[in-house]
Amino acid sequence: MLCACSGEQFKLEEAVPQSPESLATRDFSASGLSSRTGTVDWESKLEDAQVDEAESTLKEALSLNYEEARALLGRLEYQRVSLLLEAILLKAKSLAELGRVKEAARECKIILDTVESALPNGIYREINEDSKLLEMFHRALELLPKLWLQAGSLDEAITAYRRALLKPWNLDPQRLAKVQKDLAATLLYGGVEAGIPSEYKPWGSMFPKTGIEESILLLFILMQKVLHGEIEWDQEVMNHLTFALTISGEFLSLADHVEQVLPGRYNRVERWYFLALCYSAAGWKLLALIASAEQRLKDAEAIIDLALDETGNIDQLELLRLKAVIQIAQEQPKQAIETYRILLALIQGLSEHHDENTSKLQAERALELEAWLDLAALYSDHELWLDSDICIKKAKATKFYSPRCWHATGRLFEAQEQHKEAIIAFSVSLSIEPDYVPSIISTAEVLMKMGNKSLPIAKSFIMNALRLEPTNHEAWFNLGLIYKMEGLVQQAADSFQAAHELKVSAPVQSFH
C-alpha cells in the first residue's frame, strides 16, 4: 500500500480535498506542525497507523474540523510517499554506480510493484503534470529495463519493457516512444528467441508470435506516430525498421514506408537508391517481362537466371514460375516441367517452417496453386488428360473456391469436347468472381462451338471481356471470329489485326 487514510487506500489520481477555509492558503509541513504542537510525536503515530488518533490530535492542536484534518493528513502522507519513492530510486542508482546492478534492479522494481499494487489498471487520468511522485515512478519505469540489460538479464529486461507498455502510465508521447523503440531494438538484436508470454496469446491469431514480429509491429506503430506528427522524426526507428524488414524479406513493405517518409528526410539520390534496392526483385521481373514482350525469350530466361542469384526466397519462387512460363513459350515442355518440380519442392520445404496464417505461407500457397494450374494447362495442351486432371485436383486441394481452378476444369472439359460440363465449370468460376475475364472468354468460345443460335450470347460475353480488359488479344480474336460468322468481313479483319498486334507485344505473363 502506498498509504492509508481513515482506513481507505489513498488513490494517486484523486485530488486532495480542500475545506472552505482553504488549506491551500497555508502550506503545512511535518516540521512546522511539530513546532506548533510541541509534544506530539508525529512520526510514531503515523508509523503505528493510528489514523483516527492522528486526526483527533490535528483537530485539537490546530483547531481544525474533521475535513481539514483529514485533508492535511492526506497531504502529509502523499509527500511522505513521494520522498520514500525518491529515496528508493536514488538507492537504486547508487547501487548501479557501485556495480551492484542486480540489487539496483530489485530496488527499482519495488517502486513499480508498489504503484502497480495501488493502481492495478494503470493511470487513466492525468494527476498533476508536475507531481514529483509521478515523475519518480516514470523514472523508475524507464530505468528498470536498462538495469536488467546492464546486468545481462535479457529476459527480465524484455519483461520490464513490456510491463511499461502493457498499461497506461501517463508517459508523455516522446517518452512512451522511447520505451517502444528500446523494446523493439532489444527484441530485434538480442531477443530473437524471446517467446511471447502465455497471457498474451489469447488476444488473437493476429498477435505477434515471435520477437521479430513484435519488434516490427512496434516500429510500424512508431512510424505511424511520426507520420501523424505525434512524435519527432527519429532516424534510429527507420534504421531498425530497415534491418527488421530486410531480414524478413519484406522489401515491398519497406518500400511503402520509405515512400511515406516526408520530403527532406532523405535527399533525392538517397531516396531513389533506397527504393531501387527495395524493388530490386520486382525490377528483374519487369525486365524479363519486357524482354518477353519483345519476343526475346532467351534473353528473358537469361535475366531470370541472373535474378535468381540476387533475390530472397519468396522472390526466387516467383521468378522460378516465370522461368517455367518462358520455357513453355519457347516450346520446351520438359525443361518447364523440371522447373515446376523444383518450384513445388522448394515451396513444400519452406512451408514446413512457417506458422499458419502468416503472409509468407499464404504467398507460397498462392504460388503453389499457380504452379499446379500451369502444369494442368501444359498437360492438357499435350492431350495428357489424366495428368492434367491430377494437377487440377492438387490445385483445388490448395484452394477449392478459386476461379482459376474452375476455369482450368472447364478448359479440360472443353479440350475433351464435353461442352455442357465445360459451361458448368466456367459458370462456377464466374459465380466465384463475376469479372474473371479468362472464364468469360472461354464461355463465349464454347457457345460459339454450340452453333449460330448462341452467337448473340457469345458476342455479349466477348464485349463484356473487352470492357474489362480492352487489350486482351484473345477477346479481339474471338470477336473477329464472331464477325466472320456473321458475314461482317471488314469488322472481322480489323478485330484480327488488333488481336495480332496485341499478341505480338504481349508478355508471357501479365505485368500486374
- What residues are paired with 4 via a beta bridge? 9
Q: In this structure, how many other beta carbons lie within 10 angstroms of the beta carbon of residue 276?
A: 11
Mean pLDDT of all residues in 216-227 = 93
Alpha helices in 330-418 (DSSP H): 333-351, 359-381, 385-398, 403-415
Here the cell at position 359 is 503472409
Q: H or E segment at 4?
A: strand 4-5
Spatial contact of 325 and 360, defined as CB atoms under 8 Å apart: no
CA 196, 200, 205 angle in degrees (round to 5)? 90
Question: Sign of the CA dihedral 283, 288, 289, 291?
Answer: positive
Distance CA 424, CA 226 (A): 53
DSSP states of 208-237: --SHHHHHHHHHHHHHHHHHTTSS---HHH
Name the pairing type of β-strands 4-5 and 8-9.
antiparallel
Least confident of 131-140, 313-322, 342-351: 131-140
Mean pLDDT of all residues in 378-392 = 93
Q: Per-residue pLDDT for 430 more than 90?
A: yes
The pLDDT value recorded for residue 218 is 94
Where are the domains positioned within the chain? 1-169, 172-269
The pLDDT value recorded for residue 55 is 52
Instruction: Note the pLDDT tens digit of each residue in 111-131.
Output: 888 888 878 888 766 555 557
Spatial contact of 327 and 336, defined as CB atoms under 8 Å apart: yes
Mean pLDDT of all residues in 26-41 = 38
Average pLDDT of the chain? 80
Here the cell at position 143 is 530505468
Mean pLDDT of all residues in 388-406 = 94
Cα–Cα separations (whole angstroms), residue 464 to 323, 455, 456, 485, 488 = 32, 14, 12, 19, 20
Here the cell at position 173 is 508521447
The pLDDT value recorded for residue 489 is 92
Mean pLDDT of all residues in 71-91 = 65
Mean pLDDT of all residues in 8-20 = 38
Q: Per-residue pLDDT for 97 more than 70?
A: yes
Does residue 8 sit in helix, strand or coil? strand
- Confidence band of 75 (pLDDT split at 50, 70, 90): low
- Confidence band of 183 (pLDDT split at 50, 70, 90): very high
- What residues are paired with 5 via a beta bridge? 8
- Confidence band of 186 (pLDDT split at 50, 70, 90): very high
What one-letter code names the amino acid at 154?
L
The pLDDT value recorded for residue 463 is 95
Distance CA 241, CA 257 (A): 9
Q: Which is more confident, 54 or 397? A: 397
The pLDDT value recorded for residue 165 is 87
Cα-to-chain-centroid distance, residue 436: 30
Q: Per-residue pLDDT for 337 more than 80?
A: yes
Q: H or E segment at 33?
A: helix 30-37
In the numeric block, the cell 514460375 is attached to 321
Alpha helices in 235-293 (DSSP H): 235-247, 251-260, 268-278, 280-293
Question: Could you tell me what percent of the chain has a pLDDT over 90?
Answer: 41
- Confidence band of 309 (pLDDT split at 50, 70, 90): confident
Does the pTM surpass 0.75? The reply is no
Q: Per-residue pLDDT for 7 more than 50?
A: no
Distance CA 262, CA 241 (A): 16
Q: Per-residue pLDDT for 490 more than 90?
A: yes
**Most distant CA atoms of the chain, gap in Å:** 121
